[in-house]
Amino acid sequence: MRRRTIVAAIALTLAATLAGVTVSRPPTPLALPLPPTIEVLTDAVQLTPRPAAAVSPLPRLAPLVIGAAEGDAEGWRHVWPGVQWRARFSGTGLQLLFDDSVNRYRIDIDGQPAAIVTRPGDQGIELAGLARDHHDITVVKISESTSPARFGGFFLPTGTDGLPPPPASPMLIEFIGDSDTVGYGNTVISQACTAETVFLATDISRSFGPRVAAQLGADYRMIARSGIGLVRNYDGSDPGRTMATLYPAAPLLPQPQVIVIGLGSNDFVAALHEDEQWSDAESLRSDFTRSLVSFVRQRHEAAPEAQIILLAFNEYGPDIRRAHEEAAAELGESGIATVLLPLPKFDRGGCDWHPSENDHILIAQLLIDAIKAKLDL
C-alpha cells in the first residue's frame, strides 16, 4: 500500500462565536512522510520492527473482529475508526503485520495497555518478552482517517500456539456521528492545536462511545468522521459525501442492540454559501429533518430490534434542536420508538473547541442512564 497524504480531520470549527462557543480554524494538513513510532507502555513486553516479508509466511491466528472492517486474504481493510482485533495465544509473544502509514493503534495485553503504534507503514512488529502462559491481545485503531488502511493480523512464531478468540459480547452498540463522537483532540486541554497535535491527541477509545460500552460490558462499532454531516458537511465541504451517502451500503453484522446517532452539528454550525442547494436555514432544517427520519428508518430496517437514541448537541442553536424534535416525533408516530437525548453545554477544552475528556465522561454517563432505563439493565 502506498504512503498516503494525511488529510487533517476537518474540525467542527467556526471563525466566530456561536451559542457561546468560540472556535478556531481547522489546522493545516500534515505532509508525509512521517516516521513510524512504537511507544512501549509496560516493561512486561518488547516490541521490535520486522520486515513484512519475514512475518507474512507465518501461520495466521484467527481473531475476533469488532467494527467496520473488510476481511480478505491479506488481512482487514478499514476506513472507519475504532476497529478492534482480539485474539488469544499461548506462548511468550507473536507477530503483528500492518500496511498503514496514517493511523495509530493501541495494543493491549491481558486487558492492560502495552504499546501504541503510530504510522507503522508496511512492516511487521515482533511482540516478545511475555511470561510463557495464555494471553489475550487486542489491537484497537484509536485514530481516524479518510483513506483506507490494512491490518494484516496476528502471526504465530515457532513456540507460540493459537487459541480460539474470545467470544463477542451479547450486546453491541453502534455509534454514528462526527468529530464529537470520534473524540477529536480529546486527550489534551488546549483549544489551540496543530494538525499533529490533533492527530496525537485523538483517542477513539477514550471517547464517550467506548466508555459507554465498557461500563455496560458491551462491544462497540463506530461509524464516525470529523467534519461529516447528515446532508451537509462542515462549511459545505465535499458535497455529496455525507453520512447519508457514506454509511456502508452492505448490512453490518452483527446487528446492534443499541444505535446512537449524533449528527447535525456540522450541518448547522456554519452559514450557508450562495452556491449550496438550500435557499435558507429553514430549507436546510427541513431537509435535515426529512433525511434524519429516512436515515433512522434505514437503520431500523437493518436492525429492527435495536433501541435508537438521538443525540442533540443543543449548543449549536435552535435549528438542530427543532430538527431532532420533529424527527423524533415523526418516527414515534410511525411506530419507530426513539429516545431523544438533548445534551447540555460542555467545557469543550479539547482541540479546536471540541469536547474534552471530562465532556466525554459526562456524555457517556447520560447515555448509560438512558440505555439502562430503556433496556431495563
Handedness of CA 311, 301, 295, 202 (dihedral sign): positive
Number of H helices, E strands in the chain: 9, 21
DSSP for 11-48, please give it. Answer: PS--SSEETTEE--PPPPPP-S----EEEE--TT-EEE
Active site residue 179: yes
**What cell was used for 203?**
483517542
The closest of 243, 340, 229 to 285, measured between CA atoms, is: 229
Q: How far apart are CA 326 and CA 329, in angstroms?
A: 5
Residues 6+ apart with CB under 8 A from 44: 109, 114, 129, 130, 131
Q: How far apart are CA 36 and CA 293, in angstroms?
A: 43
Q: How far apart are CA 248 and CA 80, in angstroms?
A: 10
β pairing state of 121-128 and 94-100: antiparallel
Catalytic residue among 101, 143, 145, 179: 179
Residues 6+ apart with CB under 8 A from 350: 184, 185, 186, 187, 188, 189, 190, 191, 201, 356, 357, 359
Q: Catalytic positions, please?
A: 179
